Amino acid sequence: MIRTAGVVVVAVSLALLLTACSLRSDDGTADGTPSSPDGRGLDISFEGWETDFSTHSVPLAEFQSGGPPRDGIPPVDEPKFVAVGEQAIPPREPVIALRIGDDARAYPLRIMIWHEIVNDTVGATPVAVTFCPLCNTALVFDRRVGGRTLDFGTTGNLRLSDLVMWDRQTESWWQQFTGEAVVGELTGTELEPVPARIMSSAAFAEEFPDGRVLSTDTGHSRPYGQNPYAGYDDVDSPPFLLRDRQPDGRLPPKERVVTVDVDEELVVYPLPLLEERGLIEDEVGAVPVLVWWQDGTASALDSETIAEGRDVGAATVLDRRADGRTLTFEAAGANIRDSQTGSTWNRDGLAVDGPLAGERLAQVVHDTPFWFAVAAFRPDARIG
């Protein structure tokens, strides 16, 4: 049973009903085109949409209603920010940390879990900061496509348990997990991913003391800090809303994994393995990477209060190339030290001491989703 303090939010309450939804049969054609223009026979409604539903790259039968209507889970379109320390966030609570140039911002999951999308501009780059609680996917995309900037919202629909977004300019539908338009005018277009990472609010404050934090002054009344999906991330609990897809048994369904996708090669690193090793050096798509564990980050999907969630840790992924060579690393307290020069590096990839002081390792796009989601969208994934 899910309890929340204050006002009960109807849109999100409806979203929670998806766990009990029975799925209707597909009366569409073999390629997923609806058998009638109003979508009858499918689990979605076309009413009110100006989307070109005749154009799609995946079967429409794979979409399922999550409960709320379009933007029933409202995105944050005019985000406000406060300085680090001006908004009380418990130290272990997770945030999506995004730095573009000198502009560092934190998007607390206590807010993202209720809104799922923030349309923002960071370091002059228009971005969509997104979070799907059902897949535990926290992804950031550049909102610019074909010379225009798109604004994103929630369709109220899911595909393979994952958030399906829409853009207000063309009403195309976008798969959050892949960043690809899968229905409508822009079908086949892919958004450019922007490196971001989950970390604790305390770690963000330490690493970016001049950073800014998304304010709870969103224009909406929500019980920020409460988790409407309490107990959802039990590692052995089965996936759902996968239609006829069979779970990949190589890992437990809701094992958190670090995903690194370079040049169409996707490698996953189970968090328990990363916690055990601390550092993993690998090569993905010909890019030498360092996957780096850090404890002290609470799960947003465990306890009814996010701050009380169990420690699931967090990960940073860096490109190991600097100064014209590939470096190897070892732990050095809260930082790491490379074996080639003895320089010390922090989690933002900055060399803070040694011969390479001032140099910076590039952040590599990564995420920490549940395994079942990776297996559903990328069955070719290699387990590192």
Number of domains in the chain: 2
Q: Which of 186, 214, 242 is the C-terminal boundary of a domain?
A: 214
pLDDT of residue 38: 52
Residue 290 lies in a domain: yes
pLDDT tens profile 240-272? 667 677 778 999 999 999 999 999 999 999 999
- The domain that holds 339 is classified in CATH as 2.102.10
Would the pTM of this model clear 0.85, i.e. be above it?
yes
Does 140 reside within a domain? Answer: yes
Domain identity same for 289 and 184: no
Q: Is 335 a domain residue?
A: yes
> What pLDDT score was predicted for residue 236?
87
Question: In sequence order, which ranges of the chain are alpha helices (DSSP H)?
Answer: 10-16, 109-115, 201-207, 271-277, 371-377
Same domain, 126 and 198: yes
Is residue 353 exposed (0-12), middle (13-18) or buried (19+ Cβ within 10 Å)? middle
Does some domain include residue 354? Answer: yes
Q: pLDDT tens digits, residue range 116-165?
A: 999 999 999 999 999 999 999 999 999 999 999 999 999 999 999 999 99
Distance CA 219, CA 8 (A): 16
Does 56 map to a domain?
no
Residue that terminates a domain, selected from 187, 214, 241: 214
Mean pLDDT, contiguous 10-residue spans, the chain (384 residues): 31 37 32 47 90 96 92 98 95 98 98 98 98 98 97 97 98 98 98 98 97 97 97 87 77 96 96 97 97 97 97 98 97 97 97 98 98 96 95
Q: Is 44 within the bounds of a domain? A: no
Structure tokens at 333: 């307290």
pLDDT at position 33: 44
Instruction: Give me the long-range contacts of 273-277 (CB less than 8 A, separation at least 24).
Output: 274/313, 274/315, 275/313
What is the structure's pLDDT at 39? 57
Characterize the bridge pairing of strands 103-108 and 212-214: parallel
Rounded Cα distance between 206 and 219, Å, is 29
Residue 4 resides in a domain: no
Give buried/exposed letters for 99-135 (b at 16+ CB in 10 A, else e).
bbeebbbbbbbbbbbbbbbbbbebeebebbbbbbbbb
- Distance of alpha carbon 240 from the chain centroid: 18
The domain in which residue 354 lies consists of 257-383
